Amino acid sequence: MPIVYAILSGILYGTLGFFGTRLEERGLHISEFLALRFTIASLLVAALMIVRRIPFNFNRDAMKLMAISALFYATSTELYFIACHSLGTGVSMVLFFCYPVTVILLMWGIDRLSPSLSTTLALSSMLIGLPFLVDLSEFNASFVGLVIGVAAAALYGTYFYLSKRYVKKLSILPSVFWVCTGSSLSSFLTLFSEEVFTWEMTSGVVVDAFLLALVSTVLPLLFVFKAFEKLESSQASLLSVCEPVVTLLLGFAFLGEKISWIQGMGVLLVLMSVALIRYQKKETIQNQQLE
């Protein structure tokens, strides 16, 4: 079940680009719709916590999680959309979903946890397969865009790694609330510094902003934090890379889009990385039972 949670988190988080692009087309600046996204998400989670009578527990751990979210989570999202303008959505997506590299490097450098053979193979399979999923002929060469795209992935991977330790201390719903609240504050600070205020609150903007908050933010956070209960950060991050594959397959199934043999190779390689993580998880459970 934790594997399913991690995969669902990645799939839902992948809708971020779709809803974000729609809001940009409706006239909102990046900082504007991100401020809306995180504020609405905070309110949704706060309402759920009040209904379920779950305390907010504003303590030192909550403050640290807010700071981590403001510095790494919110900033990574802003940089992702900036990279999309320079590189195109496809290449930006490939760069962003390389964030498991950062997670694994941090686990190795800070926790002294060397990646297992299956994790290394899964990472290699993912890194080789991801570029095959997009049409690189649409790639707009931009050195600055590449730097921004890599920075977005590195920041998100850092947030992913650091958030796990605080989820255990605060429990899931409060953790989601403080992540969204910290990100909301960061987005508003960026918005005020840029002095860009359109706020065209049409019905379409309200609907898309609500879906961005619920589908692309609250639900992915809930699922990945649930996965953290049983999975290591490296495993959860690699499993979430299923999102580009699902997007490609949905386009083939429902939109009549064609899948080239190169994209098919990419699908197989990414799915192979998921299979390797699933095998590693089963092997870990069996070893624990023997002990």
- pLDDT tens by residue, 59-99: 999 999 999 999 999 999 999 989 888 877 777 777 888 88
pLDDT of residue 71: 94
CA–CA dist 154, 231 (Å, integer): 20
High-pLDDT (> 70) share of the chain, %? 86
Mean pLDDT of the chain: 82
Higher per-residue confidence, 220 vs 203: 220
CA–CA dist 232, 262 (Å, integer): 31
**What is the domain count for the chain?**
1
Cβ atoms of 139 and 80 within 8 Å: the answer is no
Q: What is the residue range of 245's domain?
A: 2-290
CA–CA dist 189, 131 (Å, integer): 34
How far is residue 78 from each of residues 9, 41, 63, 83, measured CA to CA in Å? 19, 17, 22, 9
pLDDT of residue 267: 80
CA–CA dist 184, 188 (Å, integer): 6
Q: Side-chain half-sphere of 255: how many Cα atoms within 13 Å?
A: 9
